Amino acid sequence: MTLLEFRDVHVTYTGSRGRVPAVRGVDLKVEAGKVLGVAGESGCGKSTLAMAVLRLLPKSAEVTGEILLDGEDLLTMGWGRLRAVRWTGASIVFQGAMHSLNAVQRIGKQVAEPMLVHDRDLSASDAAKRAEALLERVGLPASRLRSYPHELSGGQRQRVMIAMALACDPDLIIADEATTALDVMVQAQVLQLISGLVKERGVGLVMISHDLSVLSSVCDTAAVMYAGRVVEQGPAHEVFARARHPYSAALGAAFPVIGDPASRRNPGGLAGDPPDPGRLPEGCSFRPRCAVAVERCAESAPELLQVEGARLSACFVAQEGEPVVLG
Amino acid sequence: MTASPTTSPRALAWARRRQSFARSWAAYRAQRTGMVGLVLLGAIVVLALAAPVLIDESALSVTQATGGRMEPPSLEFPLGTDEVGRSVLALTLWGSRLSLLIGLTATVVAILIGTAVGVTSGHIGGAYGWFALRISDWFMVLPSLVVAIALLAVLGRSMGTTILVIALVSWSGTTRLVRAQTLTVQARPYLERARALGAGHWHQMTKHIIPNVLPLVLASATLLVPSAILMESSLAWLGLGDPNVVSWGSILNRASDNGAVSAHAWWYLLPPGLAILVVVLAFMMCGRALEAVFNPRLRGEQA
Amino acid sequence: MSLDKVLTARDLRVEFGLPGGRVARAVDGVDLDVAPGEIVALAGESGCGKTTLARTLLGLERATGGEVAFGGVPLGRSTKALKAYRRQVQLVLQDPSGALNPRHTVYDAVAEGLRIHGITDDEPDRVAEALSRAGLRPPERFFLAYPHELSGGQRQRVVIAGALVLEPSILVADEPVASLDASVRGEILSLLLRLKEDAGLGALVITHDLGLAWSIADRIAIMYLGRIVEQGPVEQVLTAPRHPYTRALVSVLPDSPVAEPIVLAGELPDASRIPGGCRFRPRCQEVASGGALKVLDQCEGVDPAVLGPDAEPHLVACHLDRVLDDPARMAA
């Protein structure tokens, strides 16, 4: 069952530098009980896309296209309906949990708050009990309900954020770099928790990260974004292991597999820097940094097309069946 | 400080500095009050500098005075005369030179002390930092006018001591400001990098900390000048100024001593009083505008 | 490899007093060598003391015990001795945006080291040379740029150029790519690798990312709570980790050589409350599963000694490993 669907979504910011396109035509689907990974670097539009789902973007952003949650367009629904959806339909876990928690309120109160706001009939003691259960579920002792955010470690705060996101039983969770600031071991703990929740409760999860290796271990499907577009899409593990777009290949190479002799003493990487969304190059926006670019790439931007099975790629070279990595 | 001769990169670096100055200037120009203040200030400075050309110094001599006692404004004396028959216009114009001179010099001295103590106490810290901070706190809580009067009584009345005394009672605010900014800059990774490169205290302070606190110091200096002028006027009005020179404060002092108030000689009191007001206002306007240009919290992060 | 330019730490200890009279042992006995021409990775979780160790190696933090030496000469406390030392051992910080003074041009930032050390001859040439070695070519184009006009990767190159201009033997890089975009990281790591291969530069790269160590390092040291628990050649340590902690760290990576992911419970303890005996015992999966039963007495009572600069290239601070390893060694 399709839970969330992006249909030709465009997001354009209007600011002092004129109109800057942040997202340029994205089509994606998330199934219930599945995990979609969105990979890309800062400025590629992945966080803008996440914010667009709950209409959290600033007024200067113009969103076109359709974002369907359970078949209902989030972009056109009324504010009352949207408020309801924000609690029970979908919730977001941001990175940087320290700033998202209220420093002067106990954890218990913050976890219980959305439940009380959402369900007026719920008594405070019931809410506290449910908060306790939630905390235990994310692997924190119930005694932590009485702690203040600064008394918790980074990993614990991130767990609290996840508990808060779960408070109203949402169908969809969006995790925006939710594990980026965490250490490997704590990250592994949180990822294990998240995948467990997806399996057990059949929620849909959109996981946004710059770390393709994290996505490959948790996600079913992965979409790689570059300059506001999805440039490659497919089963997560395959995208990571055998990229069909030179950009995903480079992104994957930034997180080498230990024991792989090809990456030993050979850090992969791309020349040049991510493009400025306000000044995108003509043709394929990845062309200036691409090692396999051909003449066509300068003339027109490739569409995201099927290259094999469930694999899609927006690269002329890959679409012709050629390898996208040199050597 | 820099050892190498003027190479082309250095010359071009200056060009870049000019560019960044131009950016700051544009930001300053965008503020109307700042521009008004600057124009006012420019006019006052020009008048003060041109005073010897406009009116001969002999007009200040008590023995060569041509007018009568406290004459109201007339064509010959547009702002009337004082108790010995000197032109109040001439006195006010000449007085501006001394008021501005004392205000500016005292500010420069106060800023130098304040910056030196602020930077060193923030950068070196430890027992010295603690001690320096307590001293500046001590100066901050003392009633400045009382201290100034006491000091002047001890040190004697002259222009030099007036400047020194005003500087002594007003450096501590700058110390606080500079110390706070020093601590902020101190925590930046580029200071860590400089230390790892082998930079000593002198290098860290002169190359990194002072350039970063300077804009704030400049803005606070512009706000310190008017208070120094006011302080000088107060001291002079109380009769603690240098008796041999004319300043706005000393004009007011003579006016009140010689019964200008009871004689309803408004022309004697108003010009120096208004002059103080206008100068203070002009400096305040410039200072606020500068603060807005340089303080990243009031404006966006500046390059 | 010239032995006279080796950076060494012997039984290095750094303690901080905390409010309440407690003492945090941030670095608690570390032996480490970095020679020119080799890249050593120092890996561990945040809070394990790796950054404090780096700062102490650079003389930015005072050791409370043990010693740091360069070429056999202990690091002096005097300003002059430190200054001479700093021409040889240079720092590259994590966040290149913060590591550059926003008011200084690239030229000034790179020339800063020269000016500090009073090197005044052909400054522009030296700066240009350092910039091009750091991959900013043509260097003249970058002379007058301000940091905010550069991309993250370019800024980190400027920081590296600022270190290279003094022609050091060793670079200490604290998370050199952690704040950079993923696609740019490889370029900076390639640069470090090239500097090692072409110019014989040595580097200590501090990182939480084992993949990074795999990409560029020759040797790796795994740090846990102020102590190195395993060190050796990257291939051995990462593909056949022997310390339970290293095994757990490696196991949670994608496509890990360790088959089953071992997710350790809990978090790194506070450096002021280092457990007695083996410091890893409370979280050790071998202790929890009973695999370490025969050495449990030692785990609880005996602190595995500091890993010394041994002839042995692969060192492990684990009681269990010592028992397991002995028969194998005898057989060989």
- Does A189 contact C at CB distance below 8 Å? yes
What are chain B's partners, defined as 3 or more CB pairs within 8 angstroms? C
Is residue B11 pLDDT above 80, yes or no? Answer: no
For residue C13, what pLDDT is reported? 94
User: pLDDT (tens digit, 9 = 90+) per residue, A242-286?
Assistant: 899 999 988 888 888 888 888 888 887 787 788 888 888 889 999
**Contact (Cβ atoms closer than 8 angstroms) between residue B135 and residue B89:** no
Q: Which of C79, C144, C162 sits opposite B12 (nearest CB)?
A: C144
Is the pLDDT higher at B20 or at C173?
A: C173
For residue B240, what pLDDT is reported? 85
Nearest alpha carbon to residue B168 among B249, B106, B116: B106
**Contact (Cβ atoms closer than 8 angstroms) between residue C150 and residue C111:** no
SS3 at position A277: coil
Residues of chain A with pLDDT under 50: none
For residue C263, what pLDDT is reported? 83
ipTM for the assembly? 0.82
Give me the mean pLDDT over the C94-102 stretch.
87
User: pLDDT (tens digit, 9 = 90+) per residue, C72-92?
Assistant: 888 877 778 888 888 899 999
Q: Which tokens go with A230? A: 């999805």
Percentage with pLDDT > 90 across chain B: 21
Chain A interface mutation, best of C38, C196, C255, C260, highest count of A Cβ atoms under 10 Å: C255
For residue A36, what pLDDT is reported? 94
Is residue C246 pLDDT above 90, yes or no? Answer: yes
C214:A155 CB<8 A? no
Determine which helix (DSSP H) or strand (DSSP E) holds A195, and give its type and residue range: helix A184-201
A256:C248 CB<8 A? no
Which residues of chain C have a CB within 8 Å of the CB of A259?
214, 238-239, 255-257
Which residues of chain A have a CB within 8 Å of the CB of C233?
none
**Contact (Cβ atoms closer than 8 angstroms) between residue A93 and residue A175:** yes
User: pLDDT (tens digit, 9 = 90+) per residue, B145-168?
Assistant: 888 888 888 888 888 888 999 998
Q: Which of C153, C183, C265 sits opposite A250 (nearest CB)?
A: C183
Mean pLDDT of chain C: 87
Total residue length of chain A: 327
**Contact (Cβ atoms closer than 8 angstroms) between residue C255 and residue C238:** no
Is residue C328 pLDDT above 80, yes or no? Answer: no
For residue A135, what pLDDT is reported? 86
Q: How confident is the model at residue B302 (pLDDT cuts 50, 70, 90)?
A: very low
For residue B298, what pLDDT is reported? 53
DSSP state string for C238-249: HHS--SHHHHHH
d(CA C279, CA C300): 9
Angle between helices B88-124 and B32-54 (to 10 degrees): 130
User: pLDDT (tens digit, 9 = 90+) per residue, C16-37?
Assistant: 988 888 888 999 999 999 999 9
Which residues of chain C have a CB within 8 Å of the CB of B212?
101, 103
A256:C193 CB<8 A? no
For residue A268, what pLDDT is reported? 77
- Does A34 contact C at CB distance below 8 Å? no
Q: How confident is the model at residue B296 (pLDDT cuts 50, 70, 90)?
A: low
**Helices (H) then strands (E): counts for chain B:** 11, 0
Question: Residues C52, C58, C148, CA angle at the centre, nearest 5°?
Answer: 85
Query: Across the B/C interface, how many CB contacts are shorter than 8 Å?
Result: 88
Is residue B70 pLDDT above 80, yes or no? Answer: no
Q: What is the pTM of this model?
A: 0.81
Amino acid letter, C107: Y
Which residues of chain B have a CB within 8 Å of the CB of C94?
189
- C positions 89-148 inside 8 Å of B (CB): 90-91, 93-95, 98-103, 105, 107-108, 112-113, 115-118, 120, 123-124, 127, 140, 143-144, 146, 148
What are chain C's partners, defined as 3 or more CB pairs within 8 angstroms? A, B
Determine which helix (DSSP H) or strand (DSSP E) holds C41, and give its type and residue range: strand C39-43
Q: Name the minimum distance, in Å, from the CA of C212 to any CA of chain A.
A: 7
For residue A273, what pLDDT is reported? 80
- Does C76 contact B at CB distance below 8 Å? no
**Contact (Cβ atoms closer than 8 angstroms) between residue B172 and residue B136:** yes
C101:B16 CB<8 A? no
For residue B303, what pLDDT is reported? 33
Nearest chain C alpha carbon to A186:
C267
Q: Name the minimum distance, in Å, from the CA of C286 to any CA of chain B.
A: 41
d(CA A39, CA A29): 15
